[in-house]
A and B are shown apart, each in its own frame.
Chain A
Amino acid sequence: MAATIKLEIVTPEAKIFSEDVEMVTLTGVDGQMGILPQHMPLMTQLASGEIIARKGAEDIFLAVGDGFVQVTREKVSVLTDMAIKADDIDEAKAEEARQKAEARLAQKLSDEEVVSAQAMLMHALTQLKVKRRHSK
Chain B
Amino acid sequence: MASTRDIRRRIKSVKNTAQITKAMQMVAAAKMRKAQQAAIIGRPYAALLNQMMAAAATGAVGFSHPLMEARPVRKRAVIVVSSDRGLCGGLNSNLFREVAKLDKSTTVFVTAGKKAAQFIGRTKRTLAAEFTYKDAPEYAEARAISKAVQQMYLKGDVDAVDILFPRFINTLTQQPQLVPFLPIGKLSAATAGVNAAKEELQAHATPDVYEFEPDEQTVLGELLPHSLNFQMHQILLETKASEQSARMVAMKNATDNAKQIIKDLTLEYNKLRQANITKELLEITTAQMALG
Contact = CB atoms under 8 A, between A and B. Distances in A.
**Co-complex (A, B):** yes
Chain B interface helix/strand/loop/mixed: helix
A72 B42 contact: no
A8 B206 contact: no
Contact of A28 (B49, B143, B213, B230): B213
Contacts of A12: 41-42, 45, 139, 230
A115 B45 CA distance: 21
B44 A41 contact: no
B48 A41 contact: no
Contacts of B213: 28-30, 42-45
Contacts, number: 77
B214 interface: yes
B209 interface: yes
Contacts of A116: 139-140
B216 to A, nearest CB: 9
A68 interface: yes
B56 interface: yes
B41 A14 contact: yes
B59 A41 contact: yes
- Interface residues of A toward B: which range? 20 to 34
A70 interface: yes
Given A43-B210, A43-B212, A112-B140, A70 B55 contact: yes
Interface residues of B, number: 29
Given A15-B44, A72-B208, A79-B48, A43 B56 contact: yes
B211 A42 contact: yes
Q: Which 9 pairs, one residue from A and one from B, show the smallest C-beta to C-beta distance?
A: A41-B208, A44-B213, A41-B210, A42-B211, A12-B45, A43-B210, A15-B44, A10-B48, A112-B140
20 contacts: A8-B48, A12-B41, A12-B45, A13-B41, A14-B44, A15-B44, A30-B214, A40-B211, A41-B208, A43-B211, A43-B212, A43-B219, A44-B213, A44-B219, A45-B213, A45-B222, A68-B226, A77-B48, A79-B45, A112-B144
